[in-house]
Chains A and B, each alone.
Chain A
Amino acid sequence: MKRANRIITEQTQGFTFTRRAMLLGGMQVAVGGVLATRMAWLSIAENERYRLLAESNRVQLILIPPRRGWIVDRHGRPIANNRTSFRVDLIPEQLRDRGPVLASLREMLALDEEEMQRINDDLDKAARYQPVPVAENIDYEHYAAVTVRMAEEPGVAPTSGNARFYPAGAAVGHLTGYVGAASPKQYEETHDPLLITPGFKVGKDGLERTMESILRGKPGARREEVTARGKLVRDLETRPDTPGGTLHLTIDAGLQEYAARRLGSNSGAVVVIDCQTGDLLAMASMPSYDPNSFSDGISHSEWNMLSADDHLPLVNKVLQGLYPPGSTSKPMTALGLLEAGIDPDAKVNCTGAYRVGNSFFHCSKRGGHGPINLANAIKVSCDIYFYHFGVVAGINALAPMARKLGLGAEFPLPVTTQRYGTVPDPAWMERKYHKSWSTYDTVNTSIGQGYMLVNPLQLAVMVARIASGRAILPNMVQKTRKTAPPLDVSAEHLEFVRNAMSSVVNGGGTAGVARLPVDGVLLAGKTGTAQVRRITMAERRRGVLSNSALPWKYRDHSLFICFAPVASPRYAAAVIVEHGGWGASVAAPIARDTITWLYDKNKAMDRLLALEADWGGDIVTRMNAKAVAWRAAKAAEGNSIASPGDADDDA
């Protein structure tokens, strides 16, 4: 290496030092310049971006859930409103020490073992962003305790807000539906932060669900300055929420509640409709659930109790219950016969049995009615007359009339589900069963048995159309009414059927019990008893078993349709009591009392209170008693599912 030979003196060393020291100093100044440039870049070129980031650090936007719009009845009485409530939620993604937090919440709020189990389960399976309710509708003292003691605990969210309240409770359960926290799926779809705001609820069923867009309203917002640990420093500004709109129903809350209470412990439905306008005044389905407890979040055991009940409290029977109309179809069949040109004075000799091929069809009256015309056949509900002339006129005279009166139809209503049943005819038979129509089927259809299935709402529409002579459509929401065109049926024939229905009640017919206890108001109606089992020839020889001798689920359905007043029809109603037995005995008195309420509330209430004294109290009392009995039975049997005791009887 030739460089190694270079002679280094102290002088050259000094030069080297000076050069290198100046280079070092220069480099230091250069680095200082880089630092200054970098800082200028951050604070000037990127200032806007970092200013926003600092602001979004500092300011937290808290959504204020909108107050949900009220649901009110035709007179403005609230069916669903809001009341102040205090609640505590946990936000899983912010929660640090679950164990100690839950322990102190348990102590503060006096939560029981079942509640703790539910909270733990929910925390395990909830999405991290989804609030898990700890307790709802707690009183102010408990709320204040949690607010004070857990203020700095991340993930514990005590909130004061509005809870949905249904003053009539179970009586309107199926009508209104209920509200609940949004499902994770709903949040995934929209990523609307309102959906995961503690205390915010969406409609889950019924009107609450179908009218969600009107009822929800727009959330308010509060801008808060918070520290990195989430502690509130101060409120910056608040924008109030826009409450949801009020939903005006055609329902009469008083009538709805009366009808629901009048059904008692029966499984059934009552529909009352204004037969001139189509306004639905009552749509009661019982037994029901209490939408208040559903909206607060229902417990496992409450849910199990409702699911196991054979009276199906979770099914809205007005729209989802399908039943053979039985004899309540006779006014309709009569209209079909008249329109087909059958002479109403022509008589049939009723011997009590009617033969088609090898089968015998029997009349409701053993031994028969003897010679009988149309008016009397309706009045005493003779089956043989309708078998005979049904076959004469043919199915193609009956099925179109059924459709004209609203059977088999799905109505344009804001409801979650409608089962629209069946109006059988040869085309339907071919489509569904690939069979040809037989006389046997016409005979069954002529008295509303066989394949014919209707829901209680359709029955009410049917009787309303007969009563008014207008093709009314049912509606639940005010201001959606359209003027109904006249029904395409001869007014004379309608008048004939209406008079026949009046004599059912007022002229010594099958439903004398349904006569109104109101002066000057006559009620016209028709009973129905729909068979749900096949009566064998062997049983018929031994003697048909009476309903009370049969297990509940094999008993006949009890039906009644009616309208009032006869002179100028205003109200129409349909009542179905599942497995209630003979139509006149159960359904007709319920219809009578419900219509009575419209004219004389005191008289109707006196009657109801007397009945409820026998039944063991009003709806709330009976439901509570049932829940207590259920828990006791569960406790006695361990984990096996017990069915709640049958509280029904033949009224």
Chain B
Amino acid sequence: MRDSLIPAPIALIPWRLILLVVAIGVFGLVILYSAAGGSLKPWAEPQGVRFIVFLLGAILLSRVPEGYIKAVSFPIYGILLVMLLVVELFGIVGGGSQRWLDLGFIRIQPSELMKPVIVLVLATFYEQLPASESRRFTAIWPAAILIGLPAALVLLQPDLGTAMMIVAGGITITFLAGLPLRLYVGGLALFAAGMPLALGLMHDYQRNRVLIFLNPESDPLGTGYHISQSKIAIGSGGLFGKGFLNGTQSHLDYLPEGHTDFVFATMAEEWGLMGGLFLIAAFLLVVNWGIRVSLRAKTRFGQLAAAGLATTIFFYFAINLMMVMGLAPVVGIPLPLVSFGGSAMMTVLLCLGLLMAIDRNSRLPG
């Protein structure tokens, strides 16, 4: 079925996925062009350059053998943990929250990279764990430590959204690895019961965000302003939107963070429900492709890692959309490939590169 005229390396690239990702990315650039008032600067242009670079990087990454990825996952996990610690110490010295590590030539956000790496390191761990042990305590405690350490450090930054995503990504792997189902049912019950306690331990601004999420109209000009204005932008867009460059909420600055976390609202105001359904469908297709890669994977590492990476991408877009539509508190998760900013784009394209590598591995003959 494979056309012999096309060389194997090119034929092995999942072109339909690339096309989908490029469609999302280009749509993102169009939105950023509008958010800047009809200008390539200051957002669309650097974002476009970044997109091309990271996408090429992802395609290159797809050629790395699965075994190599498996081999480096633990060392990279260790390095990121050290970096998180350093960031934390800088934060204490510098005062206030610190997320970046400036290495001179590049600024690295270790918490962001931890999202895919936690998936890789757990997938490695469960592949090495003998099947007979998978319902024992030895299947749980190392995973708990692997998840708990980075999550705790990120929470201290404090970055609630990223910490939640690390924990959720890790737990997804343990679930797929076959840990007893009752753990998850019980955990869910505990989570519901523990919410009030969690609220008590949160920083003031975090607690405010949660409380105002529950009743945004209680503070329409304060912290609830973000959610209220975002809902107005989305709701006023209607079915087909107000038209390209015609959004008033974004162009007159009523919508805060209209080019970063709330870029979806900027889009929805101008493109309406149709634009929204396009993005939701596109992301679901990408995530679904990732799940299908995991089902096709020949190794246990490939299965767990692929499903986990796909879920990481899912968490990004699902949490962001829930946030901008008033279904979740404002936790600062950007919409990948669309929001202005390099970190989330790099992470998501890293996930996709790894997924393509696993896909390639399972499609390689013999």
Contact = CB atoms under 8 A, between A and B. Distances in A.
B284 A29 contact: yes
Interface stretch (B66-74, B77-85, B195-203, B314-322): B314-322
Contacts of A35: 280, 318, 321-322, 325, 327
Interface in A17-46: 17-18, 20-22, 24-25, 28-29, 31-32, 34-36, 38-40, 42-44, 46
Interface in A119-159: none
B268 A39 contact: yes
A34 B351 CA distance: 25
A54 to B, nearest CB: 4
Contact of A6 (B135, B231, B276, B287): B135
Interface string B103-141: 000000000000000000000000000011011100000
Given A13-B134, A20-B178, A43-B234, A28 B249 contact: no
Contact of A225 (B252, B294, B300, B304): B252
Given A42-B325, A58-B252, A21 B235 contact: no
B272 A50 contact: no
A541 interface: no
Contacts of A7: 132
B303 A21 contact: yes
B172 A227 contact: no
Main SS of chain B's interface residues?
helix
A480 interface: no
Can you list the 4 inter-chain pairs with the closest CB atoms, starting with the nearest?
A50-B235, A54-B236, A25-B291, A228-B253
B307 A16 contact: no
Nearest to B327: A38
A7 B252 CA distance: 64
Contacts of A47: 235-236, 238-239
B248 A54 contact: yes
Given A22-B295, A43-B268, A225-B252, A51 B135 contact: no
B252 A8 contact: no
A31 B322 CA distance: 10
Contact of A16 (B178, B252, B294): B178
A9 to B, nearest CB: 6
Interface string B262-284: 00000011001100110011011
B236 A51 contact: yes
A60 B296 CA distance: 59
A8 B131 contact: yes
B253 A54 contact: no
Interface string B29-65: 0000000000000000000000000000000000000
B334 to A, nearest CB: 16
A17 to B, nearest CB: 5
Interface in B187-246: 229, 231-239
A31 to B, nearest CB: 5
Contacts of B288: 25, 28-29
B276 A36 contact: yes
Interface residues of B, number: 52
A125 B218 CA distance: 28
B235 A46 contact: yes
A635 interface: no
Contact of A57 (B234, B254, B303): B254
Contacts, number: 146
Contacts of B231: 42, 50
B176 interface: yes
A8 B248 contact: no
B239 to A, nearest CB: 6
Interface string B152-182: 0000000000000000000010011110100
A226 B253 CA distance: 10
Interface of B: 131-132, 134-136, 172, 175-178, 180, 229, 231-239, 248-249, 252-254, 268-269, 272-273, 276-277, 280-281, 283-284, 287-288, 291, 294-295, 300, 303-304, 307, 311, 314, 318, 321-322, 325, 327
Nearest to B253: A228
Nearest to B304: A17
Given A7-B132, A43-B276, A58-B252, A20 B176 contact: yes
B317 to A, nearest CB: 9
Given A9-B131, A21-B176, A57-B248, A43 B280 contact: no
Interface in A251-282: none
A57 B273 contact: no
Contacts of B131: 8-10, 12-13
8 contacts: A3-B180, A10-B131, A32-B281, A43-B234, A50-B231, A54-B248, A228-B254, A229-B253
B235 A57 contact: no
A54 B132 contact: no
A433 to B, nearest CB: 65
Contacts of B176: 17, 20-21, 24
Interface of A is mostly: helix
A224 to B, nearest CB: 11
B217 to A, nearest CB: 11
Interface in A467-516: none
B235 A49 contact: yes
A610 interface: no
Interface string A40-70: 1011101101110111011000000000000
A320 B273 CA distance: 72
A549 interface: no
B132 A28 contact: no
A233 interface: yes
A46 B273 CA distance: 12
Given A32-B283, A36-B277, A54-B269, 20 more contacts: A24-B291, A25-B287, A28-B287, A28-B291, A29-B288, A35-B280, A38-B325, A39-B321, A42-B234, A42-B235, A42-B325, A43-B239, A46-B235, A54-B233, A54-B235, A54-B236, A57-B229, A57-B249, A225-B248, A228-B254
A19 to B, nearest CB: 10
Contacts of A12: 131
A21 B291 contact: yes
Contacts of A50: 231-232, 234-236
Contacts of B180: 3
A40 B176 CA distance: 33
Nearest to B238: A47
B271 to A, nearest CB: 10
A12 to B, nearest CB: 8
Contact of B248 (A6, A29, A58): A58
A24 B311 contact: yes
A34 B284 CA distance: 12
A511 to B, nearest CB: 75
Nearest to A47: B238
Given A39-B276, A227-B252, A53 B236 contact: yes
